Each structure stands twice: as C-alpha cells, then as structure tokens.
Amino acid sequence: MKTKNKIAFSIGILLIVIASLGIFASRSIQMIKLNTENILKDNYNSVMYSQNMLKAISIFDSDSTAAMNLFVKNMNLQKHNETEWNEKQTTKQLIHDYDLFLKVKDAGSRLRLESTINSIIKLNTDAIQRKSEKAVDSAHSVLFYTILLSLVSTLIAIFMLLRFPKMFTSPIKALLEGIIEISNHKYDKRLDFGHNSEFTDVAKSFNNMAKELSVFQESSMARIISTKQYLETVINAIKEPILGLSDKKDILFANTAVTQILNIPTEKLIDKSALDLSLSNDLLRRLIRGMEKGSDKKDSDDDKDKEKDNDSPLKIYSDNKECYYEVHYLPLSKNSGTVVLLSDVTKFKMRDDAKTNFISVISHELKTPISAILMSLKLLEDERVGNMNGEQKELAQNIQDNSDRLLSITGELLKMTQVEAGVLHLNPKITKPIELIDYAINATRVLAEHWNCNIEVDYPEDKISKIFVDSEKIAWVITNLLSNAIHYSSENARVIIGARQLDKKVEIFVQDFGKGIDPRYHKTIFDRYFRVPGTKVQGSGLGLSISKDFVEAHGGTIRVDSKPGEGSRFVVTFNT
C-alpha cells in the first residue's frame, strides 16, 4: 500500500472511531435525558395527583364540593397518566372506590380509597426508583463504552504516532546510508523499500545510479590499469633510471634500470618508504638528500645554486665501474610527488675528462716552446747579437705580443683544467685586501700606461678587515678584473679599484666607465669561453669563469653591475 493511502486509511479509521464515539456518547446522553424526563413527567405527576386526591379526602368533611372538584380533577388527570404496568387496574380500582365512597361515605370506604391512592403512589415511587437505577446503569454503560472507544482511538493514535515517523524516516535513513556508501566508492550498494512504496522510485533511481557508477568505475579502473601497464612498459623500456616518489616519499614506480643501480629488486621497492630504504642504501640516501636540497632551493629561489647542483654529476659504482649520472627532479603538480630521472652522462664525463686532460697536457707542453720563443726574442733584441732595422723591430714586437698572449692563454687554460680536474689546492692565509689591489695595479701597470689609463684607488684603510684567502689566486682574479676594465674601456679612461666593508663581509670592486655589458649577458659572461658578441678585444673567454671558480672555492661570490654605455662594476665578496 502506498504511504499516502496508508496515512489516509489510518486517519480514516481514527475519524470513524472518533465519530462513533461522539455519536454513541450523544445518543446515550440523550437516552438518559429522556428516561429522566419520563420519570419526572409520568411517575412524578401520578404521585402529585395521588397526593392531591389524598388532600381532597382530608378536606371532604369541611368542604365537600371543593374536595370533590379537586378529587375528580386529579382522578381524571391520573386516568390519562397510566404509565406503569398494573397502574390502569389500580386507577380503575380508584374510580370504583371513589364511587363507593360517594355512595356510603363511611370510614371503611374512605380507608379503602386512601389505600388505593397510596397503592398508586407506591406504584409510581417504585417506578421512579427502578427507572433512576436504570438511568444510573445506562450512565455506567455509556461511561464504559466511551472509555472503551477512547482507549481504542488512543491506541490507534499511538500506533500512528509510532509508525508514521518511522515510515518516513527509515527509507530516508536507508537512503542516507546508501549515499554514504556510494561516496566511499562502494558502488555495489543497492536499496530496497518493498513494492508499494513511493520510495520504490527513489530506490530504483539510486540503484540505477549505483549501477552506472560501478560500470563507470570498472571502465575507468580498466582504463587506469591499462594506462598504468602502458606507462610501466614505456618506463621499463627507457634505459635511463627512473624513480617515482609520492609526496610522502613512498616509491610509486621504479624501472629496471633504477633497480639495477640501486641494487634492490622491484618487489622490495614498490610501495615501500624511500626514507626507510635509504637508511641502508647510500645511493637512495643521496638522491633523497638532493631532492630535499632541491626543494629548499626552490623555496629560496636561488637560481645560481640550482644550476651548480645540476652541473655536478652523481658518481655511482655500478657493475664494478664508475658511472656518472645527472639527476633531474621533476615535481608533480600540486606537490603530489616527484619523479627522479637519472641521465647517464658517463660518456660525456669521460670525454670531458679527456678534453681537460688534453688541454692540460697541451697547455703545459706549449709553455716551454713559448718561453723559448720569448727567450730567443730577448736575445734577438740584444744589440750584441746585431742591430734590427725598424721593420724587424716591429715584427719582433709583434712576436712578443702574440707570445705573451699565448702564454697568458695557456696559463688560463692550465688554471681551468686545475679547477675541472678538482685538484684546485688552496693555500689560504690572512691577507689585507690592499695587498691584492696593489699587486693587480703593478701587474697591469704597463697595460695601463699603454692605454693611458688612470687607475684610482678607493680604499678606506682603517675600515677594511683582513680576509683569509689564497692571495696568489685572488690576486690573479683582481688582476684579471683590472686588466678587463682597462681593455674594455676607451683610451685615456678612468678606472676605480677599491674595497668596502659590509658588516662581516669585504667587497673588492673594479669599476670602469667603458662600454658596459648588456644585462642579457650578466650571467653568461661567467661561463667558460663565453665572450659578449661583437667583442673586438682579443681574449679567450676564460678569465671570468676561472675567477668565479677561484672566488667560490673560497666561499665568496662574484657579480657584475653594469649598464651598456655607462661602464661596469665587478664586485668580489668574501667573508671576513
């Protein structure tokens, strides 16, 4: 039965019970009222008439006419008010006794008449008593049935009260539970509210939805699984080691190459905590440390450091040989994890080492013949050997300049190979910055004079702290900066060299007012062999990159502030 019909049916029953209760109660009250009225009307009147007749008898001796009138009047009234069984007979007796009394008028007939009247009174008072007892009985039974009906309707009302809310809430509760199950991805949940309920439609729609979701889940699941298998195949086919980590550093996937270099089988990697595994695996520990460093750097946005980190390859011993890997950390969107990609750069590293080695050997080997050329040139210039004419002198000068340049380039190349081979030995000692500045000024004196360059020194002696550096290397750096400043300025230019104290740091700077450097190249001028396009002055493009390596090896920094057309200011900073 539908809920609507159930409610209508129950309320209908309740209405019928209440209506019957009302009808029954009003009819019963009406009946009791009628009974009571009858008692008053019939029996009470008979008693009154009888008492009037007794009164008439009592005044008969004194006023016979009035007494007779009174008696006859009441007797006639009594004649028309015979309600009780036997009352008609007694009234007839009364008429007879009255006639007899009128005829004989003795005490006997009088007594007899009075006795008959008393019989009528008794008859009616008995009836009154009987009827009032009946009325009381009726009232009792009315009361009983009224209470009974009230009880029945109360029970029905209680039943409805208990049943109706449940009738509505239980399907809603079941529906709510179903929705929670669905939201927990349990799509096999189904609802059943019976056949004759409005909720059947709701259940039908719910079950359809759950079925479709389950079909959708299965198809998406199948798609996800096939995509996963596809990705796994691709990842395993890649020769480069790849490791996927979740945001909690659990290993999501690892290809064959990574399991080989980590020396851990796949089943011991997948879904395991990389942090736990890293306790017993050195390589994994280094990868995680690098990842944490990388994310710290990302936070601090230190591009220079990031580049440096990416530049230094990771050395791994695999298959009893040294391998080099460049590590790339690819963060997934919304910080949901990281993919660690290792590119094998062993071949490049070996080639690079070979190149460095080659440059080192060549530079070293070239130094001796260049020195020999310079020595021979010196001898050639000696007048004891013979006089040279003007043209020969010019040619000799040319040989001298180029040999000097070759010597400086081989010197720079040697320094670079030192850095690249990682054999840069520092011999630091406490040094006054002014000593480095003086060295640089002396080293470039000839050049400055040649270009008629005016070198100014800005050095507040008492304010500058000493620094702990390898003075030979840093003097070379400052000389290189000063020589660049002279080279890249016009003739008769002005160059300022000096130092500044900055809290616990000392800055040594070289400022020129030459052509300046385009901001696009402020970073790249510190790269190996880089020269600003269009630079006419001869050079190797190595000076600044070696300077940077030397300065950073001391824990210092080097930077340039420059605007095209306004000049450049190179600043080297050291901790004191």
Provide the binding-site residues for ligand ADP, judged by CB under 6 A: 484-485, 488, 512, 514-515, 517, 525, 531-532, 535, 539-545, 568
Q: Which is nearer to ligand ADP, 386 or 565 (CB)?
A: 565
Q: Which is nearer to ligand ADP, 390 or 565 (CB)?
A: 565
Q: Which is nearer to ligand ADP, 205 or 535 (CB)?
A: 535
Least CB distance to ligand ADP at residue 463 (A): 26
Least CB distance to ligand ADP at residue 553 (A): 17
The dihedral built from the CA positions of residue 198, 200, 205 and 209, taken in this order, carries a sign that is: positive
Q: Which is nearer to ligand ADP, 171 or 543 (CB)?
A: 543
Least CB distance to ligand ADP at residue 528 (A): 9
Q: Which is nearer to ligand ADP, 253 or 488 (CB)?
A: 488
C-alpha to C-alpha distances, 540 to 404, 422, 423, 474, 531, nearest whole angstrom: 13, 21, 22, 19, 8
Q: Which is nearer to ligand ADP, 7 or 532 (CB)?
A: 532
Least CB distance to ligand ADP at residue 480 (A): 6
- Which amino acid, residue 305? D
Q: Which is nearer to ligand ADP, 209 or 409 (CB)?
A: 409
Q: Give first-to-last CA distance, the chain, whole Å.
A: 94
Torsion of CA 479, 480, 482, 487, to 10 degrees: 140
Cα separation, 197 vs 199, in Å, equals 5
Least CB distance to ligand ADP at residue 543 (A): 3
The dihedral built from the CA positions of residue 403, 405, 406 and 411, taken in this order, carries a sign that is: positive
The three-class DSSP label of residue 317 is strand
Q: Which is nearer to ligand ADP, 203 or 525 (CB)?
A: 525
Least CB distance to ligand ADP at residue 451 (A): 13
Least CB distance to ligand ADP at residue 345 (A): 25
Least CB distance to ligand ADP at residue 501 (A): 24
Least CB distance to ligand ADP at residue 570 (A): 7
Least CB distance to ligand ADP at residue 245 (A): 40
**For 272, which DSSP code?**
S
Cα separation, 113 vs 57, in Å, equals 9
Q: What are phi and psi of 511, to 5 degrees?
A: -115, 125
Cα separation, 401 vs 459, in Å, equals 33
Residue 93: other Cβ atoms inside 10 A: 16
β-bridge mates for residue 569, sequence order: 511, 561
Tell me which residue has its CB nearest to ligand ADP: 539
Cα separation, 499 vs 506, in Å, equals 7
Least CB distance to ligand ADP at residue 224 (A): 54
β-bridge mates for residue 467, sequence order: 431
Q: Which is nearer to ligand ADP, 250 or 527 (CB)?
A: 527
Q: Is residue 451 packed enough to be buried (19+ CB in 10 Å), middle (13-18) or exposed (0-12)?
A: middle
Q: Based on C-alpha coordinates, what's the Rg of the chain?
A: 64
Find, among 81, 79, 76, the residue nearest to 56 by Cα.
76
Find, among 73, 38, 67, the residue nearest to 55 by Cα.
67
C-alpha to C-alpha distances, 433 to 164, 265, 428, 469, 490, nearest whole angstrom: 96, 57, 13, 10, 27
Q: Which is nearer to ligand ADP, 42 or 512 (CB)?
A: 512
Decide: 280 and 264 in contact? Cβ < 8 Å: no
Q: Which is nearer to ligand ADP, 178 or 516 (CB)?
A: 516
Least CB distance to ligand ADP at residue 524 (A): 9
Q: State how beta strands 454-458 and 494-502 pair.
A: parallel
Torsion of CA 531, 532, 535, 540, to 10 degrees: -10
Q: Which are the contacts of 26, defined by CB distance < 8 A and separation ≥ 6? A: none
Q: Which is nearer to ligand ADP, 422 or 533 (CB)?
A: 533
